[in-house]
Structure 1
């Protein structure tokens, strides 16, 4: 399986994503600069956290116009797996690959600490190795993680089971609507989340709960392509 990690000016979690793939599932992974216009050789594309283009205008607002994002839209339409983390989630909403928007945290403070998430849908390529309703420990680091959408969109997300992760009840760190921490598109091949699974792949980091996102992706891809699932 071949992974790409997109790199924009201002990305700062690209190395974390690269190492998470390399160290946890041992698959081929490459950095792809924002000027690239072809993602056809990759099976999964990671859009990392950071401050793409300094987060000028809005978080992710400038990144959406790059060459690589045009290729990413094509990859999404082809059913390839796409995971946007933190700023990557913001980029995916700006590019309309995911609905809604990320606003300033409710308390107007940057939040950086472990967060407890509830797995709301374990029937996606990114979550098959989790139990439905499982509580997992995944860190956050953001100032604009307050997910918002209109009521009609929220009802659609709920009805289609597109809410993949919620913050544990009573522990919403940013005021996100319906405690949303991560969502998918209707097809389920594009996921965006504010917490950082790539920073939770080993107990030395405080949690290894994020590792199963990467093993889920690989297992799903191998099953789809007739290869042995990872164990």
Structure 2
């Protein structure tokens, strides 16, 4: 039986269809999850997609954090459910305190949309085990509030504990501290990434196939997880 990856749709989600497609290409069953429904319908993992949930009012992700589905996602993630937050999903994970730090307005105050080289810093997460340590990958970035910030102590702890999942190489597209593009929780089941791996899974549309590794990683993780 295929792994079931739930993809949440919030009002304002833009990339939920792309995330579901990426899950299917990787070999999983994509299960739509609705923001107002707290039931996760037996999924094995969850993706919070990119977009502008609830219009990005207040702060990006600040309202989505209180959606009925998020109450269940937060509890399940703390029990080990793998969760991937992409762009707006990363913002939601930080607002929900599943990940440390925050995503703020790009340092140059401009929206940035381009293909971006990243370096995978750790493969010890549910979403990056298919990569090689320090592998360089090319995936799109598109954000206006993608600057990752945290206090110096938190940044030091993230580095020391292997929770920095990926860094930007070359020009930093948004001014993120220490070039951070993705982080994980201590357990490695929750990952937030600002660039968009779901847009780099097909030769026809992506700048590479490098994003597919995030989705094959979760299948590998689930296949090795105890029943």
Contact persistence 1:110–1:143 (CA under 8 A): yes
Deviation for aligned residue 1:40? 5.7
Mapping of residues 47-126 of structure 1, within 5 Å: 47-126=48-127
Alpha-carbon distance in 1 for matches of 2:189, 2:14: 24
Contact persistence 1:172–1:179 (CA under 8 A): yes
Q: Corresponding residue for 1:202?
A: 202
Q: Corresponding residue for 1:192?
A: 192
Deviation for aligned residue 1:225? 4.3
Contact persistence 2:139–2:207 (CA under 8 A): no
Q: Corresponding residue for 1:10?
A: 12
Structure 1 runs, 4 residues or longer, greater than 3 Å off:
none
Deviation for aligned residue 1:51? 0.1
How many pairs were matched up?
Answer: 224
Q: Secondary structure at the match of 1:32?
A: strand
Question: Is 1:35–2:31 an aligned residue pair?
Answer: no
Alpha-carbon distance in 2 for matches of 1:118, 1:26: 25
Deviation for aligned residue 1:179? 0.2
Q: Secondary structure at the match of 1:161?
A: coil
Gaps of 5+ in 2: none
Write the deviation string for residues 191-216 of structure 1: whole angstroms up to 9, x where unpaired: 00000000000122221000111111
Write the deviation string for residues 117-168 of structure 1: whole angstroms up to 9, x where unpaired: 0010012111111111111001001000000000111111011100000001
Q: Secondary structure at the match of 1:203?
A: coil
Alpha-carbon distance in 2 for matches of 1:61, 1:93: 9
Alpha-carbon distance in 1 for matches of 2:164, 2:190: 12
Alpha-carbon distance in 2 for matches of 1:188, 1:166: 17
TM-score normalised by structure 2 residue count: 0.96
Deviation for aligned residue 1:25? 2.0
Deviation for aligned residue 1:26? 2.5
Question: Is 1:161–2:162 an aligned residue pair?
Answer: yes
Alpha-carbon distance in 1 for matches of 2:102, 2:142: 17
TM-score normalised by structure 1 residue count: 0.94
Gaps of 5+ in 1: 227-231
Contact persistence 2:31–2:43 (CA under 8 A): no
Write the deviation string for residues 29-72 of structure 1: whole angstroms up to 9, x where unpaired: 11111111122611110000000000011100111111111001
Alpha-carbon distance in 1 for matches of 2:129, 2:27: 19
Contact persistence 2:114–2:142 (CA under 8 A): yes
